[in-house]
Amino acid sequence: MVAPETTTDAARTAECPPWCNGEHEPRRDRRIAHRSEGIIVPGVERVVHHEGDSLFSTVIEIAIGLEHIDDETWVWFGSDNPSRPPTVLSIESTRRLLRAVEALIRDRA
């Protein structure tokens, strides 16, 4: 038995990477950006109160995913705070960042 086709599957194109979620947001330049589903990582973030210099911790959700545009694949990192644009890094930059953070916290955390 074949599963019914979903709207997302119907939106996929021949150029879609296997991980593309099929949702292609319209762009003014008409280029197609393929995005994966986001992976949610729960986290705790330290922030500065907006009316002073007091620090507090808050629970956040960090979304990470892949984007492919113009024959290049990128990794995006977003928060659940809509006022913050996502950070988008190349695959190699993401690997360097992961190695650097691992080395930084390995013996110091």
Query: Shortest distance, CB of residue 22 to Zn ion, whole angstroms?
Result: 6
Helix (H), strand (E) at residue 106: helix 91-106
Query: Shortest distance, CB of residue 38 to Zn ion, whole angstroms?
Result: 15
Please tell me the distance from the alpha carbon of residue 87 to that of residue 11, in angstroms, as a whole number.
26
Pair 67, 48: CB distance under 8 Å: no
DSSP-derived secondary structure for 23-39: -----TT----EEPPPE
Query: Shortest distance, CB of residue 19 to Zn ion, whole angstroms?
Result: 9
Pick 48 or 91: Cβ nearer Zn ion: 91
Pick 34 or 76: Cβ nearer Zn ion: 34
Pick 68 or 94: Cβ nearer Zn ion: 68
Query: Shortest distance, CB of residue 3 to Zn ion, whole angstroms?
Result: 19
Look at the chain and count its residues: 109
Pick 60 or 67: Cβ nearer Zn ion: 67
Residues in a beta bridge with 58: 45
Interface ranges with Zn ion (CB under 5 A): 16, 20, 34
